[in-house]
Amino acid sequence: MPIKFPSELLKPVENFLKKKEAKLKEQKKSLEKEDPFSNTDRLNDNAAIDTEAAEESGHDRVSALKAEIDRALIEVRKTLTRIKIGKFGSCEQCGKMIDTDRLAIKPTANLCITCEKKKEKKR
């Protein structure tokens, strides 16, 4: 039988995750403005090789950071869904309860320590 956390314990976690989601969206929007490739004037610009390389490097950096934010957003949204459907705190692999200390440190954890270690060994 799955373990359900009382709603009074889940509300602060849910609020924290919603704030984190908003912050991640904000960071992503800010990064999009930093992307040298978002500047439409660059298409008409016959930039020097070093300028082109700097733009390419800047774009790669922004793309990598945006990908990291996207992964974090997915984790947060998945956890919010798990809260909503009553599966927060149970391991997606084995169904056992995830240690509360682990959840306190990483509320988006979806695997217990045992299953996480098994997953790491497979990598």
Judge whether residue 118 has pLDDT over 60: yes
| HSE-CB for 114 with a 13 A CA cutoff | 10
Q: How confident is the model at residue 54 (pLDDT cuts 50, 70, 90)?
A: low
How far apart are the C-alpha atoms of 53 and 48, rounded to whole Å? Answer: 9
Q: Which pTM value belongs to this model? A: 0.77
- Domain extents in the chain: 1-88, 90-123
pLDDT digits (tens, 9 = 90+) for 58-111: 778 888 899 999 999 999 999 999 999 989 999 999 999 999 999 999 999 999
How far apart are the C-alpha atoms of 76 and 19, rounded to whole Å? Answer: 10
pLDDT digits (tens, 9 = 90+) for 18-53: 999 999 999 999 888 877 666 555 445 555 555 566
